[in-house]
Amino acid sequence: MISLAIPSVINLYRIMSPFPYPSASPSDTHPPSRYLNRELGLLAFNRRVLAMVEDDATPLLEQLKYLCIVSSNLDEFFETRVAGLKQQLHENITQSGPDGLNPKEVYRLLSEEAHALVAHQYRLLNERVLPRLAEQGITFLRRGHWTEAQHRWARDYFLREVKPVLTPIGLDTAHPFPRILNKSLNFAVELSGVDAFGRPSSHAIVQAPRALPRFIRLPEDISECPYGFIFLSSVLHANVGDLFQGLTVEGCYQFRVTRNSELLLDDDDVSDLRLALTGELRHRQYGDEVRLEIPENCSEAMSRFLLQTFDLKETDLYRVDGPVNLVRLMQVADMVDRPDLKFSPFFPQPPRALKDNPPLFAALSKQDILLHHPFQPFTPVVQFVQQAACDPDVLAIKQTVYRAGDDSELIDALIEAARQGKEVTVVVELLARFDEEANINWASKLEDAGAHVVYGVFGYKTHAKMCLIIRREAGELKRYAHLGTGNYHVRTARLYTDFGLFTAHPEITADVSAIFMQITGLGRQESLRHLWQAPFTLHSQVLAAIDRECEYAAAGQKGHIIAKMNALTEPILIEALYKASQIGVRIDLIVRGVCLLRPGVPGLSEHIRVRSIIGRFLEHHRVYYFRHGGTHQLYLSSADWMDRNFFRRIEVCVPILDPRIKRRILEEGLRPYLRDNRQAWLMNGQGHYVRAKPARNRAAFISHLFLLKRLSFWT
């Protein structure tokens, strides 16, 4: 069994791809001091997210959400990055990364930072967020402070809703330690005494069914405040003795185990990817243990017992002052009707070309159309497929699906198009991490409706965001396309910043058609006229564009690169940026998350600036700008500047040919982020981030607020 994570896919790529994978990393010839560490960069990103909790400008219920977002991010971090690192340690891998750190050194550093991060997170919860919520009548009632009426209500709730679905398991030779689901809520109980069969009892486990809410709202007259909540863990702690009649409960402690969630597939023995993946998903909940979370008051004896049971070390143990899973608290904002404690609502407005809701094909025949989410609605993208489904002149629809969610109007429209007799082809990426099950379900429904469903190219994730519609007009076939920087996901389109381009440009749509043919069929790589495509040309084209800026700078002209993305980790490209800086090219990088490049280092990168924007929305668009002698070349892409995007994924990058749309992207997608002096974080050469502040006598400029006012109806 080999993982489809990194090593096996690189090897498979080298065998299969006609485009050569770089045989040597620049770190082989350049000192590690030129690169930062990826894992520490991920934790640094979460530090910046926590700063939104400490910002008084963030509404109170939104502060609680940011705490939950960090917990969700850390869950994935441990399930994937830490799990992979621990696997390397288990296999005694000592090879260093580009930063010169070996797995053992990385694990030590990230463990120290992760423990400090979690401690800071819970301090913010207990010392800032919960007290301020209580001042607003939103209270999480601690068991030690319950009134008599609250005790009675909690006991009644326990007897009615909780006890009937619990299965306490006493641990002895006949009852081994139960299998613990990944990230599930469990309780370890210390007991004394003898049970009904004369057996001495010391330990028991109680697993909380996932169907039970993790916190419960009390009636207002019982809670004595407008919104009073109690935790399920408190209800169970208060009544755990009912589960062990005749025994003495010496202690009861919640705990949570995080497991390795990477999927393992044998690439030599997969004849049906969907079938193999379906089988592997059943085992994801029981991967190797990587983290144990327990409450601060857990006894030393119980913590040692749990660590030994899960074969974990002290460094894998996280003691927390509160619930072991904060993610579930994300639901609180939806349960509390306090608009004054949330971000002000906004109403996305369509671009002028779509103001009167014209037929999309007629509008696109006149001009390309750009959508900027979430400030402009995602609805036209859904309507694009819906109108095609019921249009008798539409013959075929082709689309990629990476993440669509469990409930998708867009995929419903594809299903309807197939039922209407259209030729519908959908490239479903089954290996979209944590969306595998949803994508398998969609694949089945699409096939049942008569659509052609393919799973891309084995060994490469299909991460490109493309939709192609073929329509008969005046006796000829005409293509229409949508290309995006983000997923075809209605819900995240309200939360993530992304661009989507509608175009009927014959050469661009021909390129899109060629890529679909390449993914679904067999054949050699086609030469594309405009699109850059990974894994074939994207990397080399980006390097060539950087080299051209170097040539302009060397000739005494201005060289300027602006690139916006989620992550920058690819060493060869980083070296190209260092070289460009040394020649005099001005480089502005807007990188939301991990950046391994060191900016502002004299003699190396003094012309490079790196900033990260953390605000109301998750920054997600990928935009590349090259001044190119004043012609201002600009591209939208689905790809970050990472090894996996360049060499192990199918990605597209589309040039913006319409000067009007080019100006819009510059004015909305790049310049506001470079002006932001309130939610921008500036990175220095040591990898540390400092939050930007308005200069003296300068007003604060917030990019998200600027775009809301410019593009949306905002209150």
Q: What is the 3-state secondary structure (H, E, C) of 532-595?
A: EEECCCHHHHHHHHHHHHHHHHHCCCCCEEEEEECCECCHHHHHHHHHHHHHCCEEEEEECCCE
Question: What is the C-alpha to C-alpha distance for residues 128 and 681, in angstroms, rounded to an integer?
Answer: 23
Q: Position of tokens 């913010």?
A: 124
Locate 100 and state its tokens.
């010169």
Per-residue burial over 17-44, b if 16 or more Cβ lie within 10 Å, else e, is bebebeeebbbeeeeeebbbbbbbbbbb
The CA-atom distances, in angstroms, between 331 and each of 64, 73, 335, 602 are 10, 17, 7, 48
Beta bridge partners of residue 565, listed in sequence order = 591
DSSP 269: S
Among 662, 664, 568, smallest CA distance to 611 is for: 568
DSSP 211: T
The CA-atom distances, in angstroms, between 180 and each of 59, 81, 174, 249 are 37, 21, 17, 22
Mark whether 560 is an active-site residue. no
Query: Which amino acid belongs to residue 22?
Result: P
Question: What is the C-alpha to C-alpha distance for residues 75 and 77, in angstroms, rounded to an integer?
Answer: 5
Question: What is the C-alpha to C-alpha distance for residues 368 and 481, in angstroms, rounded to an integer?
Answer: 10
Question: What is the C-alpha to C-alpha distance for residues 683 and 610, in angstroms, rounded to an integer?
Answer: 6
Strands in 203-207's sheet, in edge-to-edge order, are 169-170, 203-207, 186-192, 248-259, 289-295, 317-320
DSSP 331: G
Alpha helices in 158-310 (DSSP H): 220-223, 232-239, 273-284, 300-309
Alpha helices in 273-359 (DSSP H): 273-284, 300-309, 332-335
Question: What is the C-alpha to C-alpha distance for residues 648 and 459, in angstroms, rounded to an integer?
Answer: 7
Question: What is the C-alpha to C-alpha distance for residues 184 and 180, in angstroms, rounded to an integer?
Answer: 7
396-398-402 Cα angle (round to 5): 160
Among 441, 454, 478, smallest CA distance to 400 is for: 454
Which residue in 237, 373, 463, 620 is the catalytic one? 463
Count of other CB atoms within 10 angstroms of residue 581? 26
Distant-in-sequence, close-in-space partners of 331: CB < 8 Å, separation ≥ 6: none
Contact present, 563 and 624 (Cβ < 8 Å):
yes
Query: Which amino acid belongs to residue 519?
Result: I
DSSP symbols for 499-521? EEEEE--HHHHHHHHHHHHHHHS
Question: What is the C-alpha to C-alpha distance for residues 684 and 695, in angstroms, rounded to an integer?
Answer: 19
Locate 508 and state its tokens.
């661009």
Count of other CB atoms within 10 angstroms of residue 528? 19
Give the CA-trace dihedral at 435, 436, 438, 443, to 10 degrees. 130
Q: Could you give the residue numbers annotated as active site?
A: 463
